[in-house]
Structure 1
């Protein structure tokens, strides 16, 4: 496999699921993991999008337009990533396609580790029926990408975009209520 020379050069891709169907009809997560920065991009996917065409549309319309076209794409040999359509797209876009060994997910270990971490983070926030995971997915992605990675000792966003984005929690620079920071309106309503 090609050496990773910077963000968006080598990207791992995998599906996670099936998961309980959400109100929006989502049942899978399509995960892209940058091998250099460890940044993860997580997309909720419906069963209808769980196809080579749907995967290609998300890759082109949502992932690539946000970051850039990777030079190498690492995946298992699932039809979503190895179909004639997918291979034609890789050829036109000059993407080297690397397929991991069947039944040996460690080959795409970075993506598998993100899958595991994502599942742990979602487990903490989903409802009892676990059918609202897609509502929480953007927050899980944000938290993951702004948390320090053990191997790089930096947050993925620090490497990928050069900084950690301003966190919404910085607006909580107000006194706490019972040890928890809260909005000023909440503080004033509990002061009486």
Structure 2
């Protein structure tokens, strides 16, 4: 019992570290001063492999650390919450789609759980950035207009995350040593 719990905690820490690395290693700058990365694939993997609770924690910490290391200090608290919620929604939906007799293929479950999860990310960053603009003195309408420019880039990032997860999860699921929400 203790050994399984320890393995799950170690795996969660590894997933947080991999999320940080995946977010930082390939960064495609966007015109909105942000960047598109592969970290969202890891965020969804955290939720699917570790479940909504521990997966949210691993995804939030890993994503937050990438913002911290990259110097995006104002995004650190928002990223932690937004990516944790993304993994939580994705993990919860993935587990629900994995239960029962009507089990779809893993990539289909990833897409069906990933779309609402990534919608949380897109909406979350829109609201967070709008709040930062308002806090700096903009009115709400001007803030909404200014940050709406980033929505298409966040959608592209979310789609990339779903694709990364849909490719990696079936491969990782074959390995019996991987700790998952079901077997951990």
TM-score (norm 1): 0.30
TM-score (norm 2): 0.31
Q: Which has the larger radius of gyration?
A: 1
